[in-house]
Amino acid sequence: MEDLPSKHNFEEVIKRRGTDAKKHNVYPEDIIPMGIAETDFKCPQPIIDAMVNRAEHGIYGYPLNSTSFNQAVIKWQGERFEWEIEEEWVEFAPAIVTALVTAIQAFTHPGDKVVIQTPVYHPFHSIVTNNGRIKAVNQLILKDGKYLIDFEDLEYRLKDPRTKLMLLCNPHNPVGRVYTREELLKIGELCLKHNVIVASDEIHSDLVYSGHKHIPFPTLSEELQQISLVFINPSKTFNLAGLRTAAVITPNRFLRETYRERVLSNRVDGRTVFGTLPFEIAYNECGYYADQIVEYLEQNVNYLLKYFEEKIPAIKVIQPEATYLIWLDCRDLRMTQEALNRFMLEQAKLGLNDGILFGEEGRGFMRMNIGCRRAVLEDALQRIENAVNELS
Ligand SMILES: Cc1ncc(COP(=O)(O)O)c(C=O)c1O
């Protein structure tokens, strides 16, 4: 008889305060932390068991760079996204942001331009400018509650001869878009035309809601496979961010070798015993968890959408197509950004992310992380409702 698939308990109450959790410990006890992009769920049991077992061995010397790491990526991408990957395309990285920095250094020179689509995950801004490159900002357009790409402006940015690289965030943090095949093809067509390499950060690709489909960028066409790199990390799905282990997938040999040269010169190739092990188990054994977390989160999203619509209409929710990061349009509250931040923290007692962190387009917005138990979400929404009602 086959084993029944494991069932993860996303309702388990787990105390995180006092466990050196940045997400929780930056706030006093009376604030619900809904900022930093990680869930409050325990990771899959097979990972915990394997880590405990490995810990008991008691010797933690330098680990081998085993190809089982590459094989885990091949299995996951093949089974979940129908992407057939070859072993040599996969490279370890300590984290996606580190890998994106490596890509910026490998494929651009100081003074070159790098396209980002704003509002966007805040390190996309700083890793460009901190490395002496220039941001070429393609603002997303908010139309009827949905963020769309301004392709005319995108082409204007890409055709600048100083533009060498585009950092794509798909699914997009914080606006929750899962770009369609048509949109991705159009981005690809423009990047091909203007000789721009695409670095596609797909960290949120497992957390996609009904009616949407994640398409790994290089699978769009043979030509686009030759100009792109994909960055993945099981951390968002399985709550492993503190273990610092990600992967970069690069089908094109020239890009791969250029990227790898920079990895070696920066010496960012060292793996860790407790990073590689959970990474591989997540991708090899924990598909059940990825399915169940999406189901749980989707119920959280639906609950939240209905709640805001019925009880807090002054705040508009940008409906997420993926991720547990919710982009709240608070502009109708007519507060300065400083007042909005204070309002959420001091009146609603919630630790949210300031929208401006993601770019100037985030003025009037806040980002809310709902990777938590339903009861916590209910409490948080009630707090916002009460605080908004007190305003009038
Ligand atoms: C789009 C995006 N990329 C990368 C990261 C961070 O990944 P890593 O910890 O591997 O650098 C995050 C975390 O929130 C993210 O949202």
Domain tally, the chain? 2
41/76 same-domain check: no
Strands 325-329 and 365-369, how do they pair? antiparallel
Measured CA to CA, the distance from residue 128 to residue 134 in angstroms comes to 6
pTM over 0.95: yes
User: What is the model's pLDDT at position 47?
Assistant: 98
Q: Which atom of ligand 1 is nearest to the CA of 172?
A: 1
Residues 220 and 87 grouped into a single domain: yes
Give the model confidence (pLDDT) of 12-47 as tens digits. 999 888 888 888 888 999 999 999 999 999 999 999
Q: What is the pLDDT of residues 103-125, one digit of tens each?
A: 999 999 999 999 999 999 999 99
Token look-up 């807090």 returns 312
In a domain, 9, yes or no: no
pLDDT value at position 18? 82
Q: Where does the pLDDT of residue 142 fall: very low under 50, low under 70, confident under 90, or very high at 90 and above?
A: very high
* Cβ–ligand 1 contact at 173 (below 6 Å): yes
Closest CA to 92 of 108, 68, 75, 124: 68
Choose between 64 and 245: higher pLDDT.
245
pLDDT, tens only, 312-334? 999 999 999 999 999 999 999 99
Radius of gyration for the chain, computed over Cα atoms and rounded to the nearest angstrom: 21
Q: Whose CA is nearest to atom 4 of ligand 1?
A: 96
Q: Is the CB of 38 under 6 A from ligand 1?
A: no
Interval 78-103: pLDDT, tens: 999 999 999 999 999 999 999 999 99
Domain assignment of residue 11, yes or no: no
pLDDT tens digits, 374-387: 999 999 999 999 99
Q: Say yes or no: CB of residue 108 within 6 Å of ligand 1.
A: no
Residue 5, by phi and psi: left (phi above 0), alpha (psi -120 to 50) or beta? beta
Residue with the two structure tokens 């885990």: 72
96 touches ligand 1 (CB under 6 Å):
yes
Beta carbons of 203 and 189 less than 8 angstroms apart: no
Residue 99 alpha carbon to ligand 1 centre in Å: 11
- The beta strand positions in the chain, using DSSP E, are 32-33, 90-93, 113-118, 134-139, 141-143, 146-148, 163-169, 197-201, 228-232, 246-249, 316-318, 325-329, 350-351, 353-354, 365-369
Q: Is residue 278 part of a domain?
A: yes
Using the predicted structure, report yes or no on whether residue 204 has a pLDDT greater than 90: yes
Which CATH number does the domain housing residue 273 bear? 3.40.640.10
Give pLDDT, residue 390.
96
Are 71 and 210 members of one domain? Answer: yes
Same-domain pairing of 159 and 281: yes
Q: Angle at Cα 32 formed by Cα 236 and Cα 95, nearest 5°? A: 25
Q: Which residues contact 268 (CB under 8 A, 6 or more apart)?
A: 93, 94, 98, 102
User: Of 252, 285, 318, which one is at a domain's C-terminal end?
Assistant: 285
**Would you say residue 53 lies in a domain?**
no
Confidence of residue 4 (pLDDT cuts 50, 70, 90): low
Residue identified by tokens 């908004």 is: 388
Q: Is residue 40, in this structure, part of any structural domain at all? A: yes
Residues 207 and 218 in one domain: yes
pLDDT at residue 242 is higher than 80? yes
